[in-house]
Amino acid sequence: MNDDPVLETQDARDQGLAPPALDPDALGGRWLNVGVPSILRDIAAFVFLPLIVVVIAVDVVGRYFFSHPFQWSQEVATLALLLLFVAAIPFTTASNGHVRTESLYEKYPPRARAVTDAVGALCGAVFMGVVGYWQLRELPGMMARDEGAEFIDLPYWPISLFLALCMLFGVVQLLLRAVQRSRDALSPKGRA
């Protein structure tokens, strides 16, 4: 945890300076709300982001200093960027960091916020479920056709599998969030 009292203030949270809060006691438990999302966030931050930086740096050096751009660099950077975003989704979900129209949302009463959150979580779960389902559905064909990147010998099926697993994990997170926020909306006080 962070020991900086300045970052623990409400003002720091309002300005987005405080580290995201993960709730180990939320529906689903610690592994669903802290463990796996933190691991995926670390993979995104310490594997995929540095990979993108290195690949783009190598391409820039090759292109501008040696007049020899690498054909594979754009493919690798694009795939790593996709993996970075997908790996960050579970952490963003766990920290309640998805984008919403705050100017409207903050004016809602607690019960309306809970209903809005539940409906939004259900919509997100449907979307992520469709993406995960189609990735899994296409996986056998992808493997049979030996689909891969055009300029580098990199098969697409591991990327597709990773994407599907992250999406399905997100579906579980969002369904549990929808259940929790529905409970909150139905509670006598309509928790905030």
Residue-wise pLDDT for 114-157, tens only, equals 888 899 999 999 999 999 999 999 999 999 999 988 888 889 99
Supply 84's token pair: 């970075």
DSSP 44: I
Classify residue 123 as left (phi > 0), alpha (psi -120 to 50) or beta: alpha
Neighbours of 64 (CB within 10 A): 10
Asked whether residue 11 is domain-assigned, the answer is no
Check the CA dihedral 162-160-87-114 and report its sign. negative
- Report the residue count for the chain: 192
Asked whether residue 9 is domain-assigned, the answer is no
- pTM (two decimals): 0.79
Asked whether residue 4 is domain-assigned, the answer is no
Q: Which domain holds residue 120?
A: 25-186
Report helix, strand or coil for 157: helix
Asked whether residue 14 is domain-assigned, the answer is no
pLDDT at 8 (0 to 100): 65
Number of folded domains in the chain? 1
Residue 166's nearest CA partner among 112, 106, 93, 116 is 93
Asked whether residue 3 is domain-assigned, the answer is no
Asked whether residue 54 is domain-assigned, the answer is yes
Asked whether residue 71 is domain-assigned, the answer is yes
Asked whether residue 105 is domain-assigned, the answer is yes
Does residue 56 have a pLDDT over 90? Answer: yes
